[in-house]
Structure 1
Amino acid sequence: MILYRIGKSLFTIFFSVVYRPKVIGKSNIPKEGPVVICSNHISNFDPPLIGTSIKRQINFMAKSELFDVKVLGPTLDKIGVFPVKRGAGDRQALKLGIKYLKENRVLCLFPEGTRSKTGELGKGLAGAGFFALRSEAAVIPAVIIGPYKPFRRVKVVFGEPLDIQDLRENKGSAEQATERIMARIQSLLDEHNEGTSK
C-alpha cells in the first residue's frame, strides 16, 4: 500500500530524530508466512514504532472508536488497520484477523487491550491466544521499553518464536495461550529493562 509506505517513511524519519530507537531481535521475524506479533503497550506511538522496526507490512487492530473520527477512520482503513470492539468478543474482528493470517500476513496485537499507565505489564486478553491457536502463525513476543522522551532512546525487542504447539495439539484454551505469551513478554521486559541509554 502506497499510503502505508509513505507513513512508514515519515515515521522512520521522526523516530530516528526524536527517539533514536534501538531494535533487537529483528531476525526473529520470519521473512514470509503468517506472523502474530504480541507486544506490551505503553504509548500511542507503539504501532508506528513497531511498523518501522521491520521490513514486512503489518496489520494492526485498533479500538473501533478511532474509526468514527473524521479523516482518521478512513486513513486507518487504507493502511490495513482494522477495528475491534473492546470489552466484547468481536467475531468480525477475529474472522478478519484469521483471514489475514491465512493470507500469510503479519498481525500485531497489544494483548493488554489498552495502554499501561504505569509501564507495568497488565493482564492479557484472550484474543491473542485465539489468533495463536487458530492459525499456524509464528508467534513473536515483543517489548517496547521507553519512556518516550525527546532525544532519549527507546528500545524495541523481538523475541524468538514462542512454542505453543503443545497447546494446539491438545486443544488448549485461548486463555492458556495468552498466559504463555504474556509470561514471555514479561521475561523479555525483565531481561531488557535495565534502562535505556541517553
Structure 2
Amino acid sequence: MTVYDFAKSVVYGVFKPLYRVEATGRENIPAEGGVLLCSNHIDNFDPILVGMMAPRPVYFMAKEELFKVPVLGKLVPHLNAFPVKRGMSDREALRKGLAILKEGKVLGLFPEGTRSKTGELGKGLAGAGFFALRTDAQIVPCAVIGPYKPFRKVRVVYGKPIDFTGLRQGKGSAEQATELIMSEIRKLMESSK
C-alpha cells in the first residue's frame, strides 16, 4: 500500500462521518487517460476531499510554502502534490502538470487559484485553460458544496467531461477555455443547491 492509499483510507475514515461527505458523478471521471479535474475552492480541505472521493489517484499543485514546513514538507510529495510558486508564472509547475496529463493521470486544479472567502465562484486563472488546450485530457468540472461544519453534509459533485473540440480546433485562448470550465463549475454549484 502506498503512502497515498494509506492516507486516503485514514482521511476517509475521519472525513466521511465528520462532514457526512457525499459524492455524486464519480462515474464521470474516465477510468483511463489524462483527466484535468477542475473544482471551485472554498476551504483548505478541498484538495483532500476532491482527491479522497475520486475513483482514481489525483495529483495536485500545492503552494510552495507547504514543502518547507518541517515533517509536512517531506510528506506532501508522497500525497501526489507538487510545488507551485503563487503569484507568478511557474514554468516548472506547468511542465510537471503537462507531464502528469500526458502520462494519462489525473491532475486536480482549483482555477480560482485561491479560496473564495464568500463561497461564491471567483474568476478563473488562465492556467486551467492552458492545460485544457495543450493536452488531449478529458476536462471534468467539479463542485464542492459546503460549508465544512461538523455533522453537516459536504457534497462533492463531479460533472460530465466538457466538450473541448471546438476550442481546440478553433485555436481558442487559454482565457476562453478557462471561462468555459468556470461556467460548467458554476452550473454544477447552482444545480446542487
The two structures share one fold, judged by TM-score above 0.5 = yes
Tell me which residue corresponds to 2:182. Answer: 182
CA-CA distance at 1:51 after TM superposition: 1.3
Tell me which residue corresponds to 1:9. Answer: 9
Tell me which residue corresponds to 2:26. Answer: 26
Cα RMSD of the aligned pairs, angstroms, is 0.9
SS in 1 for 2:101: helix
Tell me which residue corresponds to 1:160. Answer: 160
State the Cα deviation string for residues 94-122 of structure 1 (Å, max 9, x = none).
00000011110000000001111110001
1:10-159 to structure 2, matched below 5 A, reads 10-159=10-159
Q: Is the 8 A contact 2:29 2:55 kept in 1?
A: no
SS in 1 for 2:141: strand
SS in 2 for 1:136: coil
Counterpart Cα distance in 2 of 1:73 and 1:114? 20
State the Cα deviation string for residues 28-65 of structure 1 (Å, max 9, x = none).
00001100000000111111111111221110011111
Stretches (4+) displaced over 4 A: none
Instruction: Return the letter of the residue paired with 1:88.
Output: M
Q: Is the 8 A contact 2:26 2:55 kept in 1?
A: no
Aligned length: 193
TM norm structure 2: 0.97
Instruction: Return the letter of the residue paired with 2:182.
Output: M
Instruction: Return the letter of the residue paired with 1:184.
Output: E
- In the alignment, structure 1 segments of 5+ residues that lack a partner are 194-198
State the Cα deviation string for residues 135-179 of structure 1 (Å, max 9, x = none).
100000000001000001111100100011111111111111001
- In the alignment, structure 2 segments of 5+ residues that lack a partner are none
Q: Is the 8 A contact 2:109 2:128 kept in 1?
A: yes
TM norm structure 1: 0.95
